Amino acid sequence: MTWLHSPERKLWECHVVFAHKILSYAPFFLVLIDLQYDGVTCSQDGGVENHLEMGKKLLAAGQLADALSHFHSAIDGDPKNYMAFYRRATVYLAMGKSKSALPDLSKVIELKPDFTSARLQRGNLLLKQGRLDEAESDYKKVLKSNPSDTEETEAQRQLRKSDEIQRMVTQARAHFDVGDYVTAAAHLDLIIETSVWDVTSRELRAECFIQMGEMGKAISDLKAASKLKSDNTKAFYQLSTIYYALGDHEMSLTEVRECLKLDPDHKQCYSHYKQVKKLNKQIQSAEELIQQQRYGDALSKYESVMKTEPNVPKYSQHAKERICHCLAQEQQDMNRAIAVCSEVLASDPHNVNALKDRAEAYLLDEQYDEAIKDFETARDHSENDRQIKEGLEKAQRLLKQSQKRDYYKILGVKRNAQKKEIVKAYRKMALQWHPDNFQDPEEKKKAENKFIDIARAKEVLTDPEMRQKFDHGEDPMDPESQQGGHHQNFQGGFNPFGSGPFSFKFNFQ
């Protein structure tokens, strides 16, 4: 046994010291150490030995999946070969599969109880899982089994750490029970730094975060807990309810479905699933209707959303925001559109979508100053939004235009009025203001001017090209606005009573 005092033995001990220092961060180094460990040889046939040798070579080359396959075969060939189990455990650790490594390490200890390296590794895995009593048992047995100096130091250090964590667990639970969630969470932070796979500590910290209103942190812990524990329906249910309360109905539906995959008869998950599914379907249907520009139908759907879930403010707020949008796009009831958008902005003053929609409603209601204010506020929170920029420019043009001659106001029609409405309004006003209806010279002169404006308004608003120019800030009847325009010869003047290029023949039919 000259190897015990050889340079190779000293080199191996150096590797062991280095490996234990970084054990909790890089299990793969254990594999590199193990490649130099030639331990106690067991009775093996040639096939098993070949698989072990090939597995070691593949492991050294970083081909973990292939190495694992050979160690599987070695174990199949000799189920009592503790070294095959140990090497497979090191591969699992290198692959980050601690759950698979743990049974193999337990098997090694069963086959060879004095294999201190395997017991120390198992203790470390148990410590990470928060199984503190079991971890302490392994560390104490390592200390009683004539360990190397390195193993003894490592076992003592980990045993002290386990004792410290035990005390912190007790303190965390005590603070949680009296409602001191901040202090409890602080203790759990320290616990989880070491016991990173401790499901119980993560679930308790998630409860602390929920009570503290830090839902993002709670979600992070619950997601970890759902992966660390294979049948964790509780974590999936909590995740679903948190997402639901945050207004994320799609993620809520995803998480509750995971719960039902594990337990289709889970009462809480099934009841919650029905509620989320119904709400999700209504919202998706409403959005599809908006895409189809069926704003009236979409509006009704969002009114149903508010009835389906009246107790979660996020959904009521979202529904009102979309109703505001539908009303603004539908262009029928601007007063209601402005009122609903204002209700949204009362609780969320920087809601860019609601600001844009209310600005559009103000435009249609000819409240240009208010529209400009909303577009400017929206621009402050979304500088690169092209729709806001164009809306603001349009509102500024219309305000300037309204300060001059506004053909819509002259006829008393809305900016979105159809041609039939325009002609009807024109006929009514033309009858009212025809100069023949007035005898007093001053009144007659006033009527003539009014009648000319009425005729001009009808001329512009019933001509698609002229109306489009007017809507973009130009006055087709104003020579200055046209800058020598080409639509008509404005120098000739407009005469609704005579002939010429600008004459307009009045017709009541």
Q: In whole angstroms, what is the distance from residue 174 CA to residue 287 CA?
A: 48
pLDDT at 479: 66
Q: In whole angstroms, what is the distance from residue 490 CA to residue 214 CA?
A: 68
Q: What is the mean pLDDT of residues 143-168?
A: 94
Structure tokens at 188: 């759990």
pLDDT at 191: 97
Instruction: List all residues 6 or more positions away from 369 whose beta carbon is below 8 Å from its beta carbon.
Output: 399
Query: What domains lie within the chain, and their CATH numbers?
Result: 277-408 (1.25.40.10), 410-492 (1.10.287.110)
**Looking at the predicted structure, is the pLDDT value of residue 5 above 50?**
no
pLDDT tens profile 383-393: 889 999 999 99
pLDDT tens profile 396-417: 988 887 777 888 888 988 888 8
Q: In whole angstroms, what is the distance from residue 357 CA to residue 191 CA?
A: 50
What whole-number percentage of the chain has pLDDT above 70? 85
pLDDT at 484: 44
Q: Where are the alpha helices (DSSP H) in 129-232?
A: 132-143, 149-177, 181-194, 199-212, 215-228
Q: In whole angstroms, what is the distance from residue 68 CA to residue 81 CA?
A: 15
What is the DSSP secondary structure assignment for residue 404, as one 8-state letter?
A: S
pLDDT tens profile 274-317: 999 999 999 999 999 999 999 999 999 999 999 999 999 999 99
Q: Where are the alpha helices (DSSP H) in 309-440?
A: 313-330, 334-347, 352-364, 368-381, 386-402, 407-411, 419-433
In the chain, how long is the greatest CA-to-CA distance?
136
Give the relative orientation of helices 249-262 and 267-291 as an angle to the nearest 10 degrees.
140
**Looking at the predicted structure, is the pLDDT value of residue 503 above 60?**
no
Q: In whole angstroms, what is the distance from residue 253 CA to residue 239 CA?
A: 10
- End-to-end Cα distance, the chain: 122
Task: At 495, give phi and psi (nearest 5°).
Answer: -130, 100
| DSSP state string for 238-307 | HHHHHHHHTT-HHHHHHHHHHHHHH-TT-HHHHHHHHHHHHHHHHHHHHHHHHHTT-HHHHHHHHHHHHH
Q: How many CB atoms lie within 10 A of CB 2?
A: 6
Structure tokens at 52: 């072990």
Q: Is 332 in a helix, a strand, or coil?
A: coil
pLDDT at 471: 84
Residue 480's pLDDT band (cuts 50, 70, 90): low
Q: What is the mean pLDDT of residues 105-125?
A: 94
**Looking at the predicted structure, is the pLDDT value of residue 184 above 60?**
yes
Amino acid 30 reads: L
Q: What is the mean pLDDT of residues 137-163?
A: 94
Q: Would the pTM count as exceeding 0.75? A: no
Asked whether 198 and 191 are in contact (CB, 8 A), the reply is yes
What whole-number percentage of the chain has pLDDT above 90? 69
pLDDT tens profile 323-335: 999 999 998 889 9
pLDDT at 400: 83
pLDDT at 482: 54
The H or E element spanning position 236 is helix 233-245
